[in-house]
């Protein structure tokens, strides 16, 4: 074990080189639905039990299945109303099992990135070669079924090894959603030396955390999103910021929650100078326009406040 992930240096929010998003936007907003598959009877992992109850865990399994059977299309209809594209965090087995969901996204020009094979197969305990195998599998599956290469990664069920980010970068990815340390992109130091960034995802606004862990009432969740947006929009006048709304169709598309999400989306899209983007677009823009300045600024601040 090591003291820190070894992926980024300390970099204070104040005084960074200015980020300029396309068309003078103040804030880049991306919507990341997790389209997942949880297996009824996954093989055991010695480090984590997949279900709290003996298999079959009918409440847990059927709740997740709701997202694919009912929630996904209902959620897509809301994004359609606001002409917003999604960046799908995908359990890639959905490509083979439920290809209709992939078609739904492809015809809307959504991005798909890897969230592992299944959300019931954890990275814990994997050797480097085993983890490389699932990363390659996922990237190849996404490219084959969507026609576009996989650019981003969110580890399956947020299970990591020390090598996860390095391996994904080596295999050709350009961004990760696995770090929650910032409201702007961060250049990461990866073993391959490739240009690779962390893009703000969010656990603070993620429906899983808000609904399941902190049990916030849906309309209060909408308030949290709107307040986050308002602050990042204000700060984005000085230097571009990123707001991500990560959701799960089995949660957000429940009939008692979707109106709250729509209230937040209506608020956001009612503003000028907002870049409704995908994860890949944010990563590519940052790498193309801000990489050198950021890396130089980070280096200049490692010894203290530059004189």
Partner 1 sequence: MTLDRDYFEYPHRSYGMDHDRYPWEMLQDRAPVTWPEGATLAVWINVGLPYYPLDQSNDPFPPPHGMKTVYPDLRHYSLREYGHRVGVYRFFDALDASGLPVTFAVSARLAQRYPYLAERLAARPDEIACNGWSMNHPHHGDLDPSVEADLVERSLATLGEAVDRDIVGWLSPGKSQSGRTPDLLAARGVRYMADWVNDELPYSFATDHGSIVSMPLSSELADTTILVDSLHAVSEYVDQVTDAFDLLLAESAREGGRMLALSVHPWLLGQPHRIAAFEAILDLVGGRDDVWVATASDIVEAWEDQQPG
- The residues that touch partner 1, with contacts defined as CB under 8 A, are 37, 39-41, 43, 45-47, 52-56, 58-59, 61-63, 65-66, 68-70, 72-74, 93, 96-100, 117-118, 121, 125-127, 130, 133-134, 215, 217-219, 251, 254-260
Of 181 and 219, nearer to partner 1 (C-beta) is 219
Minimum distance between the CB of residue 181 and partner 1, rounded to whole angstroms? 29
Minimum distance between the CB of residue 249 and partner 1, rounded to whole angstroms? 11
11: left (phi over 0), alpha (psi -120 to 50) or beta: beta
186-187 and 197-198 beta bridge pairing = antiparallel
Of 213 and 299, nearer to partner 1 (C-beta) is 213
Of 141 and 186, nearer to partner 1 (C-beta) is 141
Minimum distance between the CB of residue 230 and partner 1, rounded to whole angstroms? 23
CA-closest candidate to residue 89, choices 78, 77, 101, 79:
101
Element (H, E) at 114: strand 111-114
Of 212 and 238, nearer to partner 1 (C-beta) is 212
CA 96 and chain centroid, separation: 22
How many other CB atoms sit within 10 Å of the CB of residue 127? Answer: 10
Minimum distance between the CB of residue 268 and partner 1, rounded to whole angstroms? 19
Minimum distance between the CB of residue 98 and partner 1, rounded to whole angstroms? 6
Phi, psi of 33 (to 5 degrees): -75, 135
How far is residue 90's CA from residue 118's CA, in Å, rounded to a whole number?
Answer: 9
Of 132 and 271, nearer to partner 1 (C-beta) is 132
């Amino acid at each position: 074990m090591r003291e820190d992930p070894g992926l980024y240096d300390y970099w204070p929010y104040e005084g960074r080189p200015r980020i300029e998003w396309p068309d003078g936007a103040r804030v880049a907003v991306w919507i990341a639905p997790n389209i997942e598959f949880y297996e009824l009877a996954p093989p055991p992992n010695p480090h984590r039990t997949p279900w709290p109850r003996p298999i079959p865990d009918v409440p847990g399994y059927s709740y997740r299945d709701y997202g694919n059977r009912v929630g996904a299309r209902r959620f897509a209809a809301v994004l359609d109303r606001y002409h917003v594209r999604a960046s799908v965090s995908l359990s890639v087995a959905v490509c083979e099992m439920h290809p209709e969901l992939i078609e739904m996204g492809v015809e809307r020009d959504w991005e798909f990135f890897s969230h592992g094979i299944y959300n019931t197969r954890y990275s814990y305990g994997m050797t480097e070669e085993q983890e490389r195998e699932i990363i390659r599998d996922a990237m190849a599956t996404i490219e084959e079924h969507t026609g576009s290469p996989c650019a981003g990664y969110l580890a399956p069920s947020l299970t990591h090894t020390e090598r996860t980010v390095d391996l994904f970068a080596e295999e050709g990815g350009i961004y990760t959603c696995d770090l929650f340390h910032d409201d702007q992109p961060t250049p990461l130091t990866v073993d391959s030396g490739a240009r690779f960034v962390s893009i703000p995802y969010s656990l603070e606004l993620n429906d899983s955390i808000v609904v399941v862990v902190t049990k916030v009432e849906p309309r209060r969740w909408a308030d949290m999103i709107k307040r986050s947006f308002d602050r990042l929009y204000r700060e984005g006048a000085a230097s571009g910021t990123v707001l991500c709304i990560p959701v799960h169709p089995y949660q957000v598309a429940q009939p008692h929650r979707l109106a709250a999400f729509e209230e937040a989306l209506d608020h956001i899209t009612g503003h000028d100078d907002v870049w409704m983007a995908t994860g890949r677009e944010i990563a590519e823009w940052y790498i193309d326009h801000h990489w050198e300045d950021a890396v130089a600024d980070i280096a200049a601040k490692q010894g203290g406040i530059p004189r």
